[in-house]
Structure 1
Amino acid sequence: MSDTPKFEVIDRRKRKLEEEAGEASAAAPAPAAIAEPESRPEVSSGPRLVVNEPVREPIEADPQPDGDPLPEAPTAEESRQQQSAYEASAERLEDLVRAQNPGAGPQPPIAFDSLVQQLYLSSMIQMGAGTQEGQRPRVDILGARQTIDLLGILAEKTKGNLTAQEDRMLQTVLFETRMAFLELTNMITLQPPPPPPVKK
């Protein structure tokens, strides 16, 4: 017996033409006729139009007493269990990576400076840095602005909670990214307007 599957082709064109002919000859149904399904036998198992289906209201989250629609925060015990499971899962992942790359040492712990560096790199790449020579830079100026604004929010919200080194690094990164953004936007906005099209 052959392993190739057998296909059955059903010509639905004839049925479709019969349905269209029946619909064209029928008069507009009365409102009562719309509410009741037709008694003719099913022709095909395709999708059907459902008439007079009750409209479902969207389910909204129950507002909290202060009007905040956010769900309640997890309990301390739930957070502790979740963090423990997360750390165990991350450790298993690191074991797999080390098994595939025996020469690779343990990953350094993630700290505040890792977050600042990540945002710095993201903003610089969004402004076209790191483009290979000979290629046209791809600039996402609006994305860069959002990333730089995130750095500004981070600086504002962590004020007074950083070490002197962390604060200096964050302020330096914020200054450099804002200067790069300023230079780029000046290049974009101060370019001469394109020449008018030549009339033929």
Structure 2
Amino acid sequence: MGDDKEQGFVIRDRRGRGEDAPPPAQATTPPAAEPSASAPHHDHDADPHTHAGHLPVNFSSFVISMGSSALMLMGEQLDPQQPAMPLNLPQAKEIIDLLSMLEEKTKGNLTPDEQVVMKDMLYALRMKFVSLTSGKSTLHTP
């Protein structure tokens, strides 16, 4: 109990992992109790918005992350190797509503690319939500 060393934890995001990614065997290495002098814990020269092997964290990646979560809650299986999540339409609608509010609050402050990502994501989410809540029988009429 008198040990003053912090025991941390490691979060590894495997989204966006391509074929070239290193095998997951590296993920089993426990974190060191103390950072060594040759491998500093924080790299102050690196961009704080990027992580090794991951896309940069920016507005568009945030919108895509939120949208992906909503799609999974609506039954989309984004990774065929992972089991599908159970439907949770109220939570998916909450994410859609949050993105709608964010679109309204950021109007005039987004780059053209960010506007396109937001608009396209909201359109896809709304269409999926409507198709799930209105019944699919009207979509397959001959």
TM tier, smaller: 0.5 to 0.7
1:150 is aligned to 2:61: no
Could you tell me which of 41, 49, 55 is aligned with 1:92?
41
Q: TM-score, normalised by structure 2?
A: 0.54
Larger radius of gyration: 1
CA distance in 2, matches of 1:181, 1:111: 26
1:122 is aligned to 2:69: yes
Q: TM-score, normalised by structure 1?
A: 0.39
**Which segments of 5 or more consecutive residues in structure 2 lack a partner in the other structure?**
1-39, 44-50
Q: Give the alignment's Cα RMSD to 1 decimal.
A: 3.1
* Closer/same/farther in 2, CA of residues 105 and 177 from structure 1, 3 Å limit: same
Runs of 4+ in 1 over 6 A off after TM superposition: none
Structure with higher RCO (Cα < 8 A, 6+ apart): 2
How many pairs are equivalent? 90
Higher helix share: 1
* Closer/same/farther in 2, CA of residues 130 and 107 from structure 1, 3 Å limit: closer
* Closer/same/farther in 2, CA of residues 188 and 154 from structure 1, 3 Å limit: same
CA distance in 1, matches of 2:121, 2:88: 19
* Aligned partners of 2:72 and 2:84 also within 8 Å: no
Q: Compute the displacement of 1:170 (Å).
A: 0.3
